Amino acid sequence: MSHTPHELHEEFPDHGEKLRALKQSDAHFARLVENYEDVNREVFRAETNIAPMDSLAETELRKKRGALKDEIWSYLK
């Protein structure tokens, strides 16, 4: 477990401009990014024990973050 926030600009460093453009031009994409950021913050808070949760809930959040990231990637490629 890395305890490192998985910010989208760090996950997709070569796609920063496209991320910004899609967030402004595509409402669905903007909601995906917002949901990803919310879930990512929850995972980080759980991993760092700021807001601890049971391991099953934390695992489910990580899966949700991964699914959102995959969907965001499908827009970027």
* Whether pTM exceeds 0.85: yes
Q: Which of 11, 1, 4, 3 is nearest to 68 (CA)?
A: 11
The span from the CA of 63 to the CA of 39, in Å, is 10
Q: What is the 3-state secondary structure (H, E, C) of 1-34?
A: CCCCCCCHHHHCHHHHHHHHHHHHHCHHHHHHHH
Count the Cβ atoms, other than its own, within 10 Å of residue 2.
7
Residue 2 confidence class, pLDDT cut points 50, 70, 90: low
* pLDDT per residue as tens digits for the range 22-51: 999 999 999 999 999 999 999 999 999 999
